[in-house]
Every structure is written in structure tokens, then in C-alpha cells.
Amino acid sequence: MADYDKLAGLVERDQDHDCTGYGPDQVCVRVAGVAELPTRLGRFRIVAFWNNRDAKEHIAMVHGDVVGASEVHTRLHSECLTGDVMASLRCDCRDQLLEGLRKIQEAERGILLYLRQEGRGIGLINKVRAYALQDHGMDTVDANLALGFRDDERDYAVAAHMLLSLGVQSVKLITNNPEKMKQLELYGVKVAGRIPHVIPPHEHNSFYLQTKAKRSGHYIDPSGFTHLSEQSDPVMVEGMTEGTTAPATPEAGPDGKRKTG
Ligand SMILES: Nc1nc2c(ncn2[C@@H]2O[C@H](COP(=O)(O)OP(=O)(O)OP(=O)(O)O)[C@@H](O)[C@H]2O)c(=O)[nH]1
Ligand SMILES: [Zn+2]
């Protein structure tokens, strides 16, 4: 069966889907609609998901045959209205979104999940309040804490269920964020490797990116290099044995560093 039909067939398959759910909120999703979506970055299919917890409409942008596939290039993108839509320079979200879609088009197959987790899960109003605190000198972490939130309120249970609903066997995650890898594994998605996703900093977002590296443990070198010297250790996540850690990029060794010579 052509993959288009397999993907479209998931809507009917999921009509009555009702599992015990994933994560602390026991979130369950259903594939609710599938359509063609030509974009400036290439042809995708858009998959819309329903979930049992809130009215947030998460989507997947799908390229190539992903149902039943392994090592699918996958990006989890958290919504950022200011960056994605308004082209804000305070963060790297828009660049990461477009570069993520581009990387997926370059691969044989891939998926970008657009997750409606604005402001790392604190919502748009609170993100704007956090920006106001940052205008007076706080970094992103302290601003979240000052507002009574954790530094990151995101949970990737919904992302895990979406990937499993799409029939993905394993992913190569396009990210610098170790928490995404850890949580996907926890919820049963096999992470076969990591592809770094570093956007070179500029004057408006360099402090933001430094904070990600220093305080949130993201694999980012604020000077713009893709690989940190600290990354000489293989990227390990729970449940992954050493031998299963895939090279971070086709031209990188198993330690995620570019090969020399
Ligand atoms: N609370 C808060 N959220 C922010 C801020 N700047 C960007 N965000 C949100 O952060 C999310 C993007 O997360 P990032 O930490 O940039 O990246 P990531 O997705 O965790 O990690 P990568 O996969 O490596 O890109 C989006 O939901 C943005 O709206 C901020 O100053 N405060
Ligand atoms: Zn952003």
C-alpha cells in the first residue's frame, strides 16, 4: 500500500482509539485528519491530532514514508508565536523551525511535530510577562521561577504518543535538548541518535542561547560551533546501551564530533 494511503488510513484506524494514555496527565491522541501541504520548503503532508486533555491542536509535518519506518529524522518544535510568526529576534525558534523543515526535506523521510507548548509550556501571556522581567536583567530561567513556574513546564508524553500513532519504529532526534531525548525514551519511543540543531547566535539572542547552554544543559556552544568539547562523551539516554548510539550527523563520529583528517 502506498504510504499516503497508510497515513490517511490512520484516521479511520483511530476513530475509536482510547488508550490509558501517556505521562502524568494520561494524554491520549487520535490521528484526526491528513492532507497534502505544499510549502516554500517542499511538499509535506500535514497530520492533525485530537487529544483528550485540552483543545490544543498539535500537528505533524510528514515527509516521505514514515509509517513503520526506523531512524526517522524527527524534530519536536514547541510553538513560539513571537518567533515563528512575528520573526522575533529574542530567540532562535523561527530559524530552528525553518532549518528543521529543511533538514527533514533533505532526508529520505522525516517528521516535524509542531507542539502547542508556547513559552516552554507557560503560555503566551506568561511568556510576555517573562520577557518583561528579562527586559530588567533576568535570564529565562530566573524569569520563569519568579513567575512561579519551573524553568521548563513541557512534558513530551503527547509527542511520544503522536510518534507511536504514526507507526514510527525509532527516531533520530534533531535537537540540542537532552530532556527531549530522555522523555521520549521514557515514554517508549526508541531514540536511535541525535542530530545537532544549533543556530549561530546574533546580538539579540546570544544571552538567551548562553542561558540554554549554561543553565538548561542544552548541547550548545554559544560561540556558534555545532559541537562542544564537552560532547566527547556519547549522547546517552536512559535505556540506550552504548552500542546503539548513532552518529550525530553523517559526517560525525559516534561521539558526535566531526571526524578529523
Ligand atoms: N518561558 C519562556 N519560554 C521561551 C522563551 N524564549 C523562548 N521560549 C519558548 O521556548 C520554546 C522553544 O524551546 P527551546 O528551549 O528554544 O528549544 P528546545 O525546543 O527546548 O530545544 P531544541 O530542540 O534544542 O531546540 C518555545 O515554546 C518558545 O516559545 C523565554 O524567554 N521564556
Ligand atoms: Zn522563540
Could you tell me if 68 and 169 are in contact, meaning their C-beta atoms sit under 8 angstroms apart? yes
Assigned domain for 134 exists: no
- Indicate whether 251 belongs to any domain: no
pLDDT tens for the chain, residues 1 to 261: 555 689 999 999 999 999 999 999 999 999 999 999 999 999 999 999 999 999 999 999 999 999 999 999 999 999 999 999 999 999 999 999 999 999 999 999 999 999 999 999 999 999 999 999 999 999 999 999 999 999 999 999 999 999 999 999 999 999 999 999 999 999 999 999 999 998 888 888 888 888 888 887 888 775 655 444 334 444 444 443 433 333 333 333 333 333 332
Q: Probe ligand 1: pick from 81, 91, 104, 184, max atoms within 8 Å of CB?
A: 91
Instruction: Using the structure block, give the residue that is written with the C-alpha cell 513567575.
Output: 147
Q: How many CB atoms lie within 10 A of CB 16?
A: 7
Kindly state whether residue 44 falls inside one of the protein's structural domains: yes
Q: What is the ipTM score, two decimals?
A: 0.96
Q: What residues are labeled active site?
A: 152, 154
- Domain CATH for 66: 3.40.50.10990
Q: What angle do CA 74, 192, 223 make, to 5 degrees?
A: 65
DSSP assignment letter at 8: H
C-beta 96 within 6 A of ligand 1: yes
Considering the domain boundaries, does residue 149 fall inside one? no
Determine which residue's CA is closest to atom 18 belonging to ligand 1: 177
| Cα 88 to ligand 2 centroid, rounded to whole Å | 7
The residue range of the domain holding 237 is: 3-117+154-244
Ligand 1 centroid from CA 131, angstroms: 12
Interatomic CA distance for residues 151 and 208, integer angstroms: 13
**Was 106 annotated as part of a binding site?**
no
Residue 60, in any domain of the structure: yes
Distances (CA, A) of 254 to 110, 129, 227, 232, 248: 21, 41, 13, 9, 7
In a domain, residue 141? The reply is no
The domain tally of the chain equals: 1
In this structure, are residues 110 and 76 in contact, taking their beta carbons and an 8 Å threshold? Answer: no
Residue 252 lies in a domain: no
On whether the CB atoms of residues 160 and 188 are closer than 8 A, the answer is yes
From the CA of 141, which ligand is nearest?
1
Tell whether 131 is covered by a domain. no
Q: Locate all alpha helices (DSSP H) within 15-136, ordered by sequence.
A: 93-106, 124-135
